[in-house]
Amino acid sequence: MEITLTTPALLFPALSLLLLAFTNRFLSLASLIRNLKSIYKASHNHLVYGQIQNLRVRLILIRNMQAFGIASMFSCVLCMFMIYASWQTAGTIIFGVSLILLMVSMALSLWEIQISVKALELELSDLEQDEKIAPKGTV
């Protein structure tokens, strides 16, 4: 298979959008962690502490998602350099590595989303449990 300079360049828009999405998730989690930390300091509620622990795992996953995404982008640039220097075989191998790094980043993203959805389901089930205890219209 012949790879030209434009082949790895096709990944740049996708990688840029992924990294932007990962950064937005990170910023949202950072804000949520700060809010929960202040709530925990005031109440020492074990449920809030559990949520913070869940967010810690998600934060680590997002960091790793970003790291693999950046490594994928770096590999794309390195691949382009190899092709420019007429090292076609090395460029092809590095492009393959770039694709693998991108797949790892997306797999971590899927894992983080699953954790996020599970946490929201727990939150909703807690709300439903409260609603069963005190039905609507009662005080």
- CB atoms inside a 10 Å sphere around CB 96: 13
What does pTM read for this prediction? 0.80
Token pair 């989690």 is at which residue?
29
Q: Which two tokens stand for residue 129?
A: 């449990």
pLDDT at residue 65 tops 90: yes
Q: What is the pLDDT of residues 19-40, one digit of tens each?
A: 999 999 999 999 988 998 898 8
Q: Which of 46-50, 72-76, 108-112 has the lowest mean pLDDT?
A: 46-50
Q: Which residues of 36-58 are buried (b: 16+ CB within 10 A; e: fewer)?
A: beeebeeeeeeebeebeebbeeb
The closest of 120, 121, 119, 112 to 24, measured between CA atoms, is 112
Token pair 């382009």 is at which residue?
80
Taking all residues of the chain, what is their mean pLDDT, rounded to a whole number?
Answer: 88
